[in-house]
Structure 1
Amino acid sequence: MSTISEETNLDAANQPSADNSDAAAGHRATADDAAGVSPANQHATTDGADGGEIELELQQMEDAANTLEKEGMISDSEAAQKREQVARTRKLFRELSPAERAAIVRRRREIGRELMDRQLSGAAVVAATVRLNHTRLKPLFEQWWPYLNRMSINMQRFGRSTFGAEDQGTVTAWLEKQVTDLEAYVDEQLGVAQDFREKTEQKLREQGDIVFAPTVTKPSLSIEVEAYSRFSMRLLSLLMKFDRVMDNFDFLVWNGIRDQSDVDEETARFLRKFHPIGVRGYMTHLRLMTTVRGR
């Protein structure tokens, strides 16, 4: 196999505001709002969905603000405001108990699930069935996809009035590049994993070894969703495709070819690669919602 190293889990302690009906939820928590624009990697004290990686998450938020400022996507004052928010949230989280941190993580994911249940009037949608066999992909999906989905249609509707024509193009181009790069990565991983599995299985059979063919009979997630854009559908597709990569990992672990820790590291690599688009897309969603609420 070509990959298998690094580490990271995903889920952020954050509270999003989703659309007009999310306004109350959006204003309820400064700490939540600041804390969850990305996953992190230190002081572990959550429900396990993010591996307790709050501190790295906050650092990545700060880095994202610096990047947005450099690329001219936000003003100096906005960047300074975001950095202050990170500092404030870091202090808040250091003072929170493990139970309080876990509650924030759960709440953020709950809002994402609620958002998927709300239909958006006047939106042309495509219904899709999402099945994810593996538990580690479920928090990734709940943490980012509902907001990225809503962001994609709000960018079409309110992107110009929120960012201006030029900055809207910059944001859209960046997101497009991230999705394209992710698709290429996942396609490569699936090809490598399938090829390695086939060769391994053939070798085991030639040696007369027992070959196990594990399957997931109870998926981690199986739901119907409404996607608002081709962008959203592409994200769904690459998540489900990586889930198939993990099916091949299961085969390798069952047959003693790879250790579970190796597989965990490889999965973490994907989570880390998905993270930037989640952060930027979520921040874009929040920015767009200020326009939506003002109408």
Structure 2
Amino acid sequence: MTTTELSIAESPAAAADMPTLSTDIPSVAPMHSNGGTGGAADRDDVETELTEMEASANALRKEGLISTADLEKKKAEVERTRKLFRELSPEDRQAIVRRRRELGRQILDRELAGAAVVAVSLKLNHTRLRPLFEQWWPYMNRMSLNLQRFGQSTFSRSELTTIETFLERELAKLEDYVDEQLRVAAAYREQREHEMRAKDDIIFQPTITRPSVDIEVQAFSRFAVRALQVLIKFDQAMDQFDFMVWNGIRDMTDVNEEVTRFLRKFQPLGLRSYTTHLKLMTTVRGV
């Protein structure tokens, strides 16, 4: 079993869509929380991310993990990305997101020769989680394998430590968040349902007969499986939200805010995984 077999590169079309980038700078406009792009909300999201990237670069320089020249390079990349995004039309932003989702689906359909995988049955009921899954998870999955194989030959020791620490911290935060969301939503639903039964109120039990995603995927690492579990648990929390909306316990606007909050919380992990994937692929193609 060779290293090349373990980490085959994407198709030429995919390669053309994945330039060599710093691990801190996005090459494309991130997805807005509702699964689309465009508008003032998108500009706010991207501006926040770029500001955070610039602050992260300053922190790395302060800690002596990057040189002054590297700091200036990263700041220049931030400014180029900011300028590029501002000049994009809403149609171009939407096309970028569609292309990234399309490439993500292509990655899902490929098998890597010689790679040890765990088959995971993935079922997501809610449509709003499908773009999140397609746009980020395939890259997170492939990145997690290539980071193990090519991380040391792609990044310096300090860069690799920074990336691994960030990914673990963000994933752990998401796991805690969805655990709490599901626990609180289930408990509140149970309490209100008990109260309604005590008053002989009509209780609706909504179900989803056609899931948004119902597939089997091959996960390359524990990290990738944990990321899937985050999506699955929040989907289960959304099942509880459906019950509450149908029975007048919560307003749909309130639920939308909960979902939007989760999508925003997931984005930093997805974005960092994606840009790390791009950087790793430059090494993979050279093997």
The alignment's TM-score, normalised by the length of structure 1, stands at 0.82
**1:6 alignment partner in structure 2:** none
Q: 1:142, CA displacement in angstroms?
A: 1.0
Q: 3-state DSSP class of the match of 2:209?
A: coil
Distance 2:220 2:100 in 1: 21
2:60 pairs, out of 51, 71, 74, with 71
| Residue 215 of structure 2 corresponds to residue 215 of structure 1 | no
AA of the residue aligned to 1:185: Y
Task: Quickly say closer, same or farther: Cα 1:173–1:94, change in 2 above 3 A.
Answer: closer
1:49 pairs, out of 35, 46, 56, with 35
Gap regions ≥5 residues in structure 1: 1-17, 42-47
Task: Quickly say closer, same or farther: Cα 1:242–1:283, change in 2 above 3 A.
Answer: same
CA contact (8 A) 1:152 1:231 kept: yes
| Residue 121 of structure 2 corresponds to residue 121 of structure 1 | no
Aligned length: 271
Task: Quickly say closer, same or farther: Cα 1:294–1:66, change in 2 above 3 A.
Answer: farther
| Residue 27 of structure 2 corresponds to residue 34 of structure 1 | yes
AA of the residue aligned to 2:44: L
CA contact (8 A) 1:152 1:229 kept: yes
Task: Quickly say closer, same or farther: Cα 1:74–1:109, change in 2 above 3 A.
Answer: farther
CA contact (8 A) 2:124 2:214 kept: yes
Distance 1:93 1:185 in 2: 30
**1:293 alignment partner in structure 2:** 285
CA contact (8 A) 1:40 1:55 kept: no
| Residue 192 of structure 2 corresponds to residue 204 of structure 1 | no
| Residue 234 of structure 2 corresponds to residue 242 of structure 1 | yes
Spell out the pairing of 1:271-290 with structure 2 (5 A cutoff). Answer: 271-290=263-282
Distance 2:74 2:236 in 1: 37
CA contact (8 A) 2:50 2:82 kept: no
AA of the residue aligned to 2:130: K
Q: 1:138, CA displacement in angstroms?
A: 0.8
Q: 3-state DSSP class of the match of 1:67?
A: helix
Deviations 1:56-109 (A, max 9, x none): 343214522541452366655455445444444444444444333322221111
**2:172 alignment partner in structure 1:** 180
AA of the residue aligned to 2:9: N
Task: Quickly say closer, same or farther: Cα 1:206–1:175, change in 2 above 3 A.
Answer: same
| Residue 253 of structure 2 corresponds to residue 261 of structure 1 | yes
Distance 2:127 2:184 in 1: 22
Q: 1:128, CA displacement in angstroms?
A: 1.1
Spell out the pairing of 1:106-117 with structure 2 (5 A cutoff). Answer: 106-117=98-109
Distance 2:238 2:171 in 1: 20
Distance 1:116 1:250 in 2: 29
Q: 3-state DSSP class of the match of 1:156?
A: helix
Q: Sequence identity, in percent?
A: 52
Q: 1:143, CA displacement in angstroms?
A: 1.3
CA contact (8 A) 2:119 2:218 kept: yes
Distance 1:250 1:75 in 2: 51
AA of the residue aligned to 1:280: R
**After the TM superposition, which of the residue ranges 106-115 and 69-78 deviates more from structure 2?**
69-78
**After the TM superposition, which of the residue ranges 173-182 and 227-236 deviates more from structure 2?**
173-182
CA contact (8 A) 1:62 1:83 kept: no
AA of the residue aligned to 1:50: G
Higher RCO (C-alpha under 8 Å, 6+ residues apart)? 2
Q: 1:240, CA displacement in angstroms?
A: 0.4
The alignment's TM-score, normalised by the length of structure 2, stands at 0.84
CA contact (8 A) 2:37 2:90 kept: no
Distance 2:17 2:75 in 1: 20
